[in-house]
Amino acid sequence: MLFKNAVYRVGAEGLIVGTDKGKTWKTQGSAVDAEMGPFFGKDENHAVVVGKKGFFETIAGGKTWKQAAPLPFPGCRVDWFGNYAWDPMGNVFYFATTAQPALRYVC
């Protein structure tokens, strides 16, 4: 994810940031159990990542994380082909699989 001239990705160690077009990378913040993201909110400090246990949110640039929405959502199952999205303005989380329609989780 490109945001304000920096490239971000998530790994087991937390946010990984590159500011020189990906030549070098550094870890930013603390570890988080996620494989997808980040999705940014109002600024580079506000982001959501997705892992097997749910959506995790930071408002501190990855220094701290809190679970914002669980996975699977109540009443659904997770498969390998999930699609995930977050609406930061409405604080709504979306999840869809190939086997069921899109569901939303409102905080």
Q: What is the pLDDT of residues 46-56, one digit of tens each?
A: 999 999 889 99
Mean pLDDT taken over the chain: 88
**93 φ, ψ (degrees, to nearest 5):** -110, 140
Q: What is the pLDDT of residues 66-103, one digit of tens each?
A: 999 998 777 676 666 778 899 999 999 998 887 777 88
CA distances, 5 to each of 10, 14, 86, 88, 89 (Å):
17, 19, 22, 21, 23
